[in-house]
Amino acid sequence: MNRNAKSRFLAAALALSLGASLGGCSSQGASSYAQAEAAFERHHYRTARIHLANLIAEGAADAETHLLYARLMLEMGDGISAQSAISRVPDKELDGAARSEMMAHAHILQGDPDQAAALMEQIDAGSLSEQGVRMLVWAHWDLDTLEDNADILAAGLKKYPKSAHLHAFAGDLAIAQGNWSLASEHAAQAMAADPKNFEGLLLNGRVAIFNGDLKAARAHYAAASAAYPDHALPIANMAGLDLDMGNAKSAAKVLKAGMGKHPHFPFMLFQKARLDYKNGDFAEARLALEEAKPSYQNYAPLGLLSAKVEEKLGNRATALRELDRVNAIDPGNAEARALAAKLSGA
């Protein structure tokens, strides 16, 4: 089974939502390490980055500053900047295992899970910290080999039974295997371990959607957004669920705030296109879809919406081409087949 999309999407989501819109992030005014650390601990990553960038620009960055910057870049999904910052931290400030864990994380974010797994496998399996197990599991997830190495995850959960991160991975693996009951168990355990764990909240949202409880799913995503205010994905998910529940007014409010912070985040653009289509703003919907498409080449719902938009704009041939793509991705899509039949007979 191909599970790579999940990890790649999350990494890209964080990098796009937190990095691309920052540009030059230094600002006027004094910054201190304490301010940066406080912002980091509150998950206010944009603010933390501004303070750390100011310290670095002022030449006031010591090893502790570079280490925090590396941790921040990992949370923001920027593996390249994280690796660069790690290299500036002396060995005496970052021991071998911890350095390997951070480097493994950076490699994963750069799309190199082989190197990440190699780093973690150099450490005795029984000596791996919770973070070390997490990195090894994540690497196998991206390599699409976690199912064959499920014993690593099982051993990690046995050693760290209250790890929200590992329960979230176990839940995602269960979903990939079609075992939603087991996924639900791990989702509950992730929340019991850490009610504000980002991946645990996302997992609980997916389980709630599967169970048809869209209000509960939205609540999970709202909690994720409250705990991680600079992350785009929960906001886009909230807007999408508002649309699914027929609450266009709430979706518009959520999207106004979300687009203000994350104007180029692909899934946010997709939800904006859905709202534009609903409101009859077909040209605006097309603009949003065209920007989102490069990140969603194999996402049937986007292709179907694009076809519907082109139909409304009178572009029958373009709509049919979009439907051909949807059929290649999802041959059983009844709505796409019905629209294709309608346009073919026009």
Give the tens place of pLDDT for each residue, 84-130: 999 999 999 998 999 999 999 999 999 999 999 999 999 998 999 99
User: Would you say residue 16 has pLDDT above 90?
Assistant: no
User: Would you say residue 233 has pLDDT above 90?
Assistant: yes
pLDDT of residue 1: 43
pLDDT of residue 60: 85
pLDDT of residue 31: 82
pLDDT of residue 84: 96
pLDDT of residue 346: 59
pLDDT (mean) for 318-334: 96
pLDDT (mean) for 267-285: 98
C-alpha–C-alpha distance, residues 43 and 227, integer Å? 7
Element (DSSP H or E) covering residue 145: none
- 240 near 274, Cβ under 8 Å? yes
pLDDT of residue 337: 96
C-alpha–C-alpha distance, residues 159 and 32, integer Å? 38
pLDDT (mean) for 41-65: 93
C-alpha–C-alpha distance, residues 38 and 86, integer Å? 20
pLDDT of residue 22: 46
DSSP string, 22-49: TSS---SS---HHHHHHHHHTT-HHHHH
Q: Which residue has the higher pLDDT, 223 or 8?
A: 223
Q: Which residue has the higher pLDDT, 23 or 107?
A: 107
Of 205, 204, 203, 200, nearest in space to 190 by CA = 200
C-alpha–C-alpha distance, residues 115 and 95, integer Å? 19
C-alpha–C-alpha distance, residues 70 and 123, integer Å? 21
* Residue 2 DSSP SS3: coil
> Can you list the pairs that 119-124 forms with residues at least 24 positions away whose Cβ atoms lie under 8 Å?
123/97
pLDDT of residue 8: 38
Q: How far is CA 285 from CA 20, 290, 302, 323, in A?
A: 22, 9, 11, 17
Query: How many residues in the chain?
Result: 346
pLDDT of residue 101: 97
DSSP code of 17? I
pLDDT of residue 29: 57
pLDDT of residue 345: 84
pLDDT (mean) for 162-171: 97
Q: Which residue has the higher pLDDT, 324 or 6?
A: 324
pLDDT of residue 53: 93
From first CA to last CA, the distance across the chain in angstroms is 39
C-alpha–C-alpha distance, residues 255 and 263, integer Å? 10
pLDDT of residue 242: 98
pLDDT (mean) for 125-143: 96
C-alpha–C-alpha distance, residues 119 and 101, integer Å? 8
C-alpha–C-alpha distance, residues 59 and 175, integer Å? 48
pLDDT (mean) for 266-291: 98
Q: What is the mean pLDDT of the chain?
A: 92
* pLDDT band (50, 70, 90) for residue 61: confident
